[in-house]
Chains A and B, each alone.
Chain A
Amino acid sequence: MATNRDDDAFDALIAEARADRPGPDLLARVLADAAEVQAAQTKPRVVVPTRRLWLAGALGAIGGWGAASGIVAAGVMGLAVGFYAPDEIDLWLGGDTLSFGETSYAITPDLGELWTEGDDV
């Protein structure tokens, strides 16, 4: 049966074990490991710039693929309406349009006039 003195002896031995310490050399080794790991972990990462295609840049400027598809759809729709119903568009806009049925507006001098000057070609 354990006596009080046995308990005291046991407690003293445990207290001695609690005070046990490693040698200073071990601390130096552990700190060297820590410095090595820390240097590797905190090394600045080299960011390699990726080449972006010009199309990606253009898409980004207008708002991405969603915006691009909207613009294309609107263009196709306008072309279709102008092609299949030019007279109605002309009517809505008070005749101020150019359709395939008209020859042209006289924005530039008629080439024919350059060729025929004074009835001479």
Chain B
Amino acid sequence: MVQGDAELGALEDGALMVLFANGDPGAARVLSERLLPRAFRHAARVLGDRSEAEDVAQEAMLRLWRAAPDWRTDGAAKPSTWLHKVVANLTIDRLRRSGRSVELGDDDFADDAPGAEARLMQAGRLDALDAALATLPDRQRQAVVLRHIEDLSNPEIAEVLGVGVEAVESLTARGKRALKAALSGQKEALGYGDE
């Protein structure tokens, strides 16, 4: 049965997945409007490349559609959490393949990565943010993006990254400090210079 926009808009993501699997043509549009921006932002902030982020977001959404027939509304992960998990895995794969991956070191962050400052000086505001995020180790970067930009709870981030909630608390706290440190010298580039 095809449902109207108002009815679809009132449904939760899991119910829309079931409708999609049953052939409802409006379910994909409502789900895409809700979830695609999240997938894109997550990928864009982690990869620092909008074009690449669009490819990742499209691939993640395609996997979501394919998962619809087996989707369970009773206790399965929320579609948004599931999608972020796919995006996290796809972005980590891309970073590793392209040699841009930053692993956790003894210091837990690498805010003195070569070239970061130069990139920050030349970039726009969001590009500057991406450049600063790129100096963080992969997991910290994922955790900061999911917590502060996508507003996921710590248990949801733990599920996405496959780590414990305590580890998430540590990753987000250290990540935020490292991000602020990376941005602190770039107030001019960000338009927050002393007046």
Give residues in A with beta carbon < 8 Å to B. 2, 5-6, 9-10, 12-14, 16-18, 20-23, 26-27, 29-31, 33-35, 37-38, 41-42
Contact = CB atoms under 8 A, between A and B. Distances in A.
Give the top 9 A-B pairs by smallest Cβ distance, nearest first.
A34-B28, A42-B23, A9-B192, A22-B40, A37-B65, A30-B61, A33-B62, A26-B54, A17-B149
Contacts of B183: 10, 13
B155 interface: no
A20 B22 contact: no
B167 to A, nearest CB: 22
Interface stretch (B29-37, B106-114, B157-165): B29-37
Given A9-B187, A9-B192, A26-B57, A16 B62 contact: no
A13 B45 contact: no
B93 to A, nearest CB: 20
A34 B126 contact: no
A22 B37 contact: yes
B125 interface: yes
B28 A38 contact: yes
A10 B180 contact: yes
A101 B22 CA distance: 74
B69 A41 contact: yes
Contacts of B20: 34, 38
Contacts of B68: 37, 41
B90 interface: no
Contacts of A5: 192
Contacts of A42: 21-23
Contact of B184 (A6, A20, A23): A6
Given A13-B183, A26-B54, A37-B62, A31 B32 contact: yes
A3 to B, nearest CB: 10
A30 B187 contact: no
Nearest to B35: A30
Interface in B86-130: 125-126, 129
B21 A41 contact: yes
9 contacts: A6-B192, A13-B183, A14-B149, A17-B45, A18-B151, A21-B37, A30-B61, A37-B66, A38-B65
Contact of A26 (B25, B36, B187): B36
A17 B129 contact: yes
A26 B149 contact: no
A42 B28 CA distance: 14
Contacts of B23: 38, 41-42
Nearest to B53: A22
A20 B126 contact: yes
B29 A31 contact: yes
A27 B57 CA distance: 10
Given A13-B125, A37-B62, A30 B36 contact: yes
Given A10-B180, A13-B125, A17-B41, A38 B149 contact: no
